[in-house]
């Protein structure tokens, strides 16, 4: 799943969230510090978790 990084325009704090693409596209993301919806997305690294069968 992708990891998204955001900066809150109200309190200026940065936070990250790991969510599916569907969750991201729904929107409704709020700052965990001040509950503002005025966010700016930062560039973040993508990582994948896979199940390796042996």
Is 60 exceeded by the pLDDT of residue 54? Answer: no
Domain-located, residue 26: yes
Q: What pLDDT was estimated at residue 27?
A: 87
On whether residue 49 sits in a domain, the answer given is no
Q: Write the CB contacts of 32 (distance below 8 Å, at least 6 apart in sequence).
A: 15
In the prediction, which pLDDT does 14 show? 94
Structural domain boundaries, residue 24 = 3-42
Whether 48 is in a domain gets the answer no
Cβ atoms within 10 A of the Cβ of 5, count? 14
CB 2 within 8 A of CB 24: yes
Enter the DSSP assignment of 33. Answer: T
Q: What is the mean pLDDT of residues 29-45?
A: 89
pLDDT in tens, 8-20: 999 999 999 988 8
């Amino acid at each position: 799943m992708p990891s998204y990084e955001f900066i809150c325009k109200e309190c200026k704090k940065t936070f990250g969230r790991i969510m599916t693409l569907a969750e991201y596209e729904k929107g409704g993301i709020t700052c965990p510090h001040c509950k503002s919806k005025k966010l700016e997305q930062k560039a973040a690294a993508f990582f994948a978790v896979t199940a390796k069968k042996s």
